[in-house]
Amino acid sequence: MAHLNILLITCSIGLTIVAAWMPDVRPDLQTKQDKVLAHFIGNSTDYFKILDHNDESVLVGAKDVIYNVSLHGLREIGRLEWHSTDADRELCALKGKPERDCHNYLRVFARRPNGEVLLCGTNSYKPRCRHYTPVEMSSEEAAPAGHAYALRYEVSRDVEAQGLCPYSPAHNSTYAFADGQLYSATVADFSGGDPLIYRENLRTEQYDLKQLNQPDFVGAIEKNGFVLFFFRELSMEFMNFGKAVYSRVARVCKNDKGGPYNHGKSWTTFLKARLNCSVPGDFPFYFDEIQAISPVVESGSKSLVYAVFTTSVNAIPGSAVCAFDVDDILAAFEGDFKSQKDSQSHWLPVEREQVPKPRPGQCVEDSRTVSSIAVNFIKTHPLMENAVPAVHGRPLLTKVNLHHRLTAIAVDPQIRSLNGAYYDVIYSGTDDGKVTKFINMLTTHPNSTVDRLKTVVISEMQVLPLGTPVRDLVISSKKNSLVVVSDGSLVNVPLHHCTLIVDCLGCLSLQDPICAWDLQTHECKNLATSQHKFGTKTYLQSLNTTKKAAASLCPHIPSAETVSFVTMAPPPTEEQKLLYSNVAAAAGNQPSLEQLPSGGDDFGLNKITLTSMDPDDIMPNLNDPQKSTASVDEIRHASGSSYLLITFSIFGIFMLGSCVGVICVKANSHMRDSQMDESHRNHFGKPIQFKHQNTGKDINLLMGSNPYATTQKTPNLDLEKDRSHECKNSTEHLEKELPCKTSTLMKVKRTYI
């Protein structure tokens, strides 16, 4: 009894652990290597950076050259070279920099209204910018149709770029080009100790830790008359408690012209606020370090910015994706200011009576008319009290993985599903070469009026070689391609994998809003490219449902308790061979040992499959908002040691029950030994052999309980079959003591099997 209590306690502890800490969301489609459509290879020291792109080509900044690469096959269709002079390279080497850094890495690209192109590079740690003027080309040199970037340019101006371009190719800098002016966020000195946000003659205060404290800039956007900069920095408000990095968003007005008198080179509208990407609760868990942002995504009535966050490098490896509404960002700058009375005080909101009037930091027609008091107030109080909340109040995706962190993000906005709903399909890259594709759904529970956020991970693909970080992602919906950028290569992979799925259940289990099963052609099709009408019954799609519900929609697929035969007429392609086995595993289509072919591999076609139970039925108490749609086998593998412990605990309980039943039956038989024949006293020690009335062969009553003791090749597991014809050959006493369907021995037999 004590052992039983220990097993029960261990089992309950294991369930508590699983309920408290869910594993990462697992995708339905997962392969070791995705289908690569094309490569563009450079050197690992090229520090590739996407400078501009459209549906036809991309501009890639690299070492001493800017490439114009077509999205069709990733072919180079043009280049512009710009090398550092010998004198600049020698000076770079004298300053102690390695040879690989003493080149011109092109980091900034912008198109001016007059048709000129602005291009800036590191120039061997001596940044410079050039203005290029387009030159008419002859008919023989004309650019290919559809490639607007394939033009010839000549230099019209060559100027210094201090404050516009970084010194090092590895420095985290960003920029935005708005209304013909370049807004840059970088460093202004060789050592990188003077960070700034710069436009023309305006900049943030030099060496002022309240404005910028060792920032890493990740992106910039222009919206509603403002330019917003996203970065992470050391937190000044946390300095009295230790050292922490916070994520920020800063804003300046585009019509800011500087302050009056000696404030003519200072921003009068620079403000910053914290970005809150955290798991909510009594003690929120923050993902504090922003790594990348997407461009502004028009999602319905909202303008959203999607961003990747991580924990610090010496903490538990965790990553998250959060979305922020631009209106919420701008609203945070209308709240209270935050300040510190002295170096030993806490940071507290500034009382409204102490804020000068008119309110500092506002966009005015001529900022040079603003009072010096207002400009000084902004310099000393740039931080806002309120943090910018994430959309839905929580991350859209969280990952806790020892092997990788998220590094890049791209969004395919407003993909229309079969029922007419729209979804933002999000792609996130990792520092070990993977790309995760997911969507978010809002679910309403009957007993609650609050909508819950559900994350559906569609796929996770190994795109780059293992250990190669993903630096950027570029989406081309027109070409159905996703360009994955590393330091020295471009890789083109399919944006969607609909055509690689070969069965109905696999197609519906993906829960990709652009994939649907065609009932007429029996194919998984891309709704964006196929000719269809929304609302028709010729296509099937199952979003925000369980696998059991998806299986019930598919024709010729029975319920979860029955065995189904899946037979596909067309032969599998190479891509289907690569991916089908993973989709089948996620859908529960894993053959038993007896069903595996003796030779060859049919890749999951023409085989007997068993539909898996739904995770919601197996684990009903795990109400996690990001519950995966993966199969039970994936959840078991993700649970690790906790699941193994529970399995051994349950097996021990069954064994204990079997032993108790055996002891009870043995005691009962011992009491009636005077009534039974002598040959039946040790029937628990030696199986009783009966003669089958039709074949005369021996039948083992405990068939299947001990596979090593039985002599039959095929075990008979039909426990509910009528055994009356077998009982006729048994002795009269045994027939009284061991009824064929309700005996204690039969109960032991069922339990032991």
CA distance 701 to 513: 54
At 403 the pLDDT is 85
Q: Which two tokens stand for residue 175?
A: 């920029």
- Amino acid present at 444: T
Residue 300, pLDDT above cutoff 80: yes
CA distance 108 to 119: 6
Average per-residue pLDDT in the chain?
76
Domains of the chain: which residue ranges?
Answer: 48-161, 672-752
Can you say whether residue 551 is alpha, beta or left, with left for phi > 0 and alpha for psi between -120 and 50 degrees? Answer: alpha
528 pLDDT band, cuts 50/70/90, is confident
Q: What average pLDDT does this structure show over 504-519?
A: 90
**Percent of the chain at pLDDT above 70?**
66
Q: Between 427 and 506, name the one with better pLDDT.
A: 427
CA distance 539 to 527: 9
Residue 132 phi/psi, 5-degree rounding, is -110, 140
CB atoms within 10 A of CB 381: 20
User: Residues 713-744: pLDDT tens digits?
Assistant: 434 434 344 444 444 444 444 444 444 444 44
Residue 16, pLDDT above cutoff 50: no
From residue 712, give the alpha-carbon distance in Å to each of 290, 552, 593, 709: 64, 38, 18, 9
Residues β-bridged to residue 300: none
Can you say whether residue 679 is alpha, beta or left, with left for phi > 0 and alpha for psi between -120 and 50 degrees? Answer: alpha
Residue 68 near residue 57 (C-beta atoms within 8 A): yes
Burial pattern 578-595, b for ≥16 Cβ within 10 A else e, equals bbbbbbbbbbbbbeeeee
At 414 the pLDDT is 93
Residue 612, pLDDT above cutoff 90: no
The residue ranges of DSSP E strands in 117-192, in sequence order, are 117-121, 128-135, 152-160, 174-178, 181-187
Residue 450, pLDDT above cutoff 80: no
